[in-house]
Amino acid sequence: MRIVHAFRSPVGGIFRHVRDLAMAQHAAGHQVAIVCDASTGGAHEDHLFQKIEPHLALGVQRIDMQRQIGIGDLTAARNTYRAIAGLRPDVLHGHGAKGGFYARVFGSLLKRRNRSLARLYSPHGGVLHYDRRSAAGRGYFLVERQLERFCDHVLFVSEHERRTYIEKIGEPRAANSLVYNGVHDREFEPVEMLPDAADFLYIGMMRDLKGPDLFIEALARTRMRFPGVSAHMVGDGDDLPRYRARAGELGLDVVFHPAMPAREAFALARIMVVPSRAEAMPYIVLEALAAQRAMIATAVGGIPEILGEASCALMQPNADDIAEKMMRALDEPAWLPAAMPQPEALRARFGASAMAGRIESIYRKSV
């Protein structure tokens, strides 16, 4: 099959998900392409593109795509349509809000030429993060409902994501499946901490949705009881200067790093903190647990499906609750490691090969 993955931002979990699928699909004999934004990402993402390119027989097409809806979308849409049309896909898989829009609309236009073309959509959170009481949320959910007629299959990455879709948009009219994200066997090797490892680690995009501001405020509260508390923050984003300024204003012992391979980052500190306000099924949680790194995480999205709904490592996305968990982790060093799921149970449920095989089976039924 000729498979095209379309999405906007080549950073974080969506990019990781697409890379895993592309490599598995290439290994299975398919021809794969990526179409995504040209303006997002830095040196780390450039390195990831270099690693994945040998697996992309149909290549990479990078086009300027802005995050928010605006006049620039007209040019981006035209260029994206031309790029996808030139690739002549059998499967067009859209990821996230813009990728999903392009896959369903452009896929439907191209289906006139190739009636067997399959149009698939993975929300990965996307528009589902909007409040259904807001004007923007109501508008996006109405559009999503209309786009269902142009979709052959919706792929959810967590049961929470599926429930949210039903609550905000309605019962899916298209065929749909739940396929968990997965990590590779090699990622289950433990990561040794550096001798000068800090107490806490944040890894992720530098935007409020992911909670770096909550992490900083919780760290300040924790310092009241533990004056020597230290942390590393790893990631890029437009809001990074604001977080640097706030950490400096509070006088916190925080070292900021640009995006780097997750396993390198895991060595920087003893305890991971995932303070997200919203998630779908975050890879960073799976990767950290596979590397046997202890963590506390907010009970949002699919995170409770990974850690367990009753896990004592779960918290609410506010600075007070996060600080309470951080202080307990420092008070009781054995508490958090004992609360983590066992690696073998994690491997059985969230394996990359099982994920890729299930999605390929869905592709074949949809073509």
Specify the pLDDT at position 339.
Answer: 96
* 138 plus 191 within the same structural domain: no
* 299 plus 317 within the same structural domain: yes
Quote the CA–CA distance of 256 and 331 in Å, as a whole number.
Answer: 25
Contact 74, 96 (CB under 8 A): no
Alpha-helical regions (H) of 53-89 = 72-87
pTM confidence score? 0.85
Q: How many domains does the chain have?
A: 2
* 199 plus 165 within the same structural domain: no
Q: What's the CA dihedral at 192, 195, 199, 204 to 10 degrees?
A: -50
**Strands annotated E in 41-124:** 59-63, 91-95, 118-122
* 25 plus 69 within the same structural domain: yes
Nearest to 360 by CA among 162, 93, 86: 93
* 197 plus 339 within the same structural domain: yes
Specify the pLDDT at position 189.
Answer: 94
Helix (H, G, I), strand (E, B) or coil at 196: coil
* 44 plus 100 within the same structural domain: yes
- Domain membership of residue 261 as a residue range: 186-349
Element housing 256 (H / E): strand 254-257
Quote the CA–CA distance of 276 and 42 in Å, as a whole number.
Answer: 22
Contact 14, 95 (CB under 8 A): yes
* 345 plus 244 within the same structural domain: yes
* 332 plus 231 within the same structural domain: yes
Specify the pLDDT at position 72.
Answer: 77
CB atoms within 10 A of CB 171: 7
* 356 plus 324 within the same structural domain: no
* 167 plus 73 within the same structural domain: yes
Between CA 173 and CA 112, with CA 2 as vertex, the angle to 5 degrees is: 55
* 215 plus 115 within the same structural domain: no
* 120 plus 205 within the same structural domain: no
Quote the CA–CA distance of 285 and 281 in Å, as a whole number.
Answer: 8
Residues written for the chain = 367
Specify the pLDDT at position 1.
Answer: 96
Element housing 315 (H / E): strand 314-315
Fill in the DSSP letter of residue 11.
S
CA-based end-to-end distance of the chain: 9
The CATH number that applies at residue 224 is 3.40.50.2000
**Tens place of pLDDT for every residue, the chain, 367 residues?**
999 999 999 988 999 999 999 999 999 999 999 999 999 989 999 999 999 999 999 999 999 998 777 777 899 999 999 999 999 999 999 999 999 999 999 999 999 887 889 999 999 989 999 999 999 999 999 999 999 999 999 999 999 999 999 999 999 999 999 999 999 989 999 999 999 999 999 999 999 999 999 999 999 999 999 999 999 999 999 899 999 999 999 999 999 999 999 999 999 999 999 999 999 899 999 999 999 999 999 999 999 999 999 999 999 999 999 999 999 999 999 999 999 998 888 988 898 988 999 999 999 999 8
